[in-house]
Amino acid sequence: MSERHVALVTGGGRGIGAAIARRLARAGAAVLVAARSQEACMAVAEALRAEGGTAWPLHLDVGDPESIAEAVAEARELSGGVGPIDWLVNNAGIVQSAPFLAHQRETGVDLYEKHLRINFHGARWMVEALVPAMIEHGYGRVVNVASSAGLQSYAYAAAYGASKHALVGYSQAAAQELSKTQVTMNLVCPHYVDSPMTDDSVARIMAKTRRGEAETRRFLASQNPGGTLIGVGEVAEGVWELLSGERNGAILELVGGKGLLPPGKSAIWLRMTPIEPAGWPRPKGYSDGMLAPAGARILFVAGQIGWDGDRKLVGAGDFAAQFRQALRNVVAVVRAAGGSPEDVARVTLYVTDKHQYVAARETIGAAWRELLGRHFPAMALVEVSGLLEPGALVEIEATAAIPSSTR
């Protein structure tokens, strides 16, 4: 691994991308500032060089595979004297809103094809162009800048949301395969950012609703969980943390931080990261390890059995019914601490008869999916001769890592 990193940042000509390029240059990386606008990427690269950094402009349209091939060849030539490109930040993106059934009539184009080509396929093509060399070199970091629209849904943004959901799903699947290498792939998912892209959204909303600019910006800020628009520098800081760390498959969700944090800081939710040693076969239904986000609060959940809110045991002699109630109780304790099922890091099941567990596996699986979805923490199953509460067939103990609401 080179002592100096070489980063390629797409969409680097303005807003979030320019802020990311500046943050990485300040950290000592040599930065390839890529954008469709040659003038914009040249201006950013010149500004970084004026600040003492190493930077090159790179004309690149991520929606055009031929442009990507040409730009990557040029990028390798430009950076060859420093080292291989070992950091990739896929930040280029577009957003255009319209009713999901009238998108083509209102805009004159297929918004789904347009958004998927730039926001998803563009990032995928960049990965395919650069990651094989990272794997061969033995080191690499990829951060895909998605959006909260990749984690939830917004009206009139179906095409944008579809493209960002695709990017999130692709990134997490790719991260699983990359776990056997020294290359990582992570995601940053900001809510509304104070950026040129949001300025464009403000203009569209004003045109349709006749709201004033200040009112429109306040409305968008109010949609963020933290109540404020996120600064481009906050997104850049999140990207830097993921590039400089060891996480793989993580989602860094930036939510804003009104009343929570000092100026210039954003509340974050960083999700749990499954850990699997390179070369190990991937387990089914559990993880070998779970890495909690930095600053998380640890919650220890006492052994929960299948009793209801009145401390009365349910499902006499019914293992599946008791398992479901006990797991529901664990989730209830986690939620009471301000967490969610995805924050459960470790589960230990104590059962009085492992054959009952095996026999009820299908029903248990359905209860698990209902209460924890497809979140599979580190787990252990222990058969015991008996439990303290008469009639109890299963007891579930858990540890959760509740992400801090501030940073």
* Residues forming the active site: 160
Pairing of strands 297-304, 289-291: unpaired
Query: Which residue has 């500004």 as its token pair?
Result: 47
Give dist(CA 389, CA 266) in Å, integer: 46
Give dist(CA 171, CA 190) in Å, integer: 16
Structure tokens at 289: 């390890």
Judge contact between 18 and 44, C-beta under 8 A: yes
Give dist(CA 17, CA 87) in Å, integer: 14
Structure tokens at 62: 């991520």
∠ CA 100-103-108 to the nearest 5 degrees? 170
Which element (helix H / strand E) includes 204?
A: helix 196-209
Give dist(CA 140, CA 126) in Å, integer: 13
Q: Classify each residue of 241-270 as buried b or exposed e, where b means 16 or more C-beta atoms within 10 Å of its C-beta.
A: bbbeeebbbbbbbbbbbeebbeeebbbbbb
Q: Could you give phi then psi for residue 379, rounded to 5 degrees?
A: -140, 155
Query: Which residue has 């910006």 as its token pair?
Result: 217
Q: Could you give phi then psi for residue 272, rounded to 5 degrees?
A: -60, 145
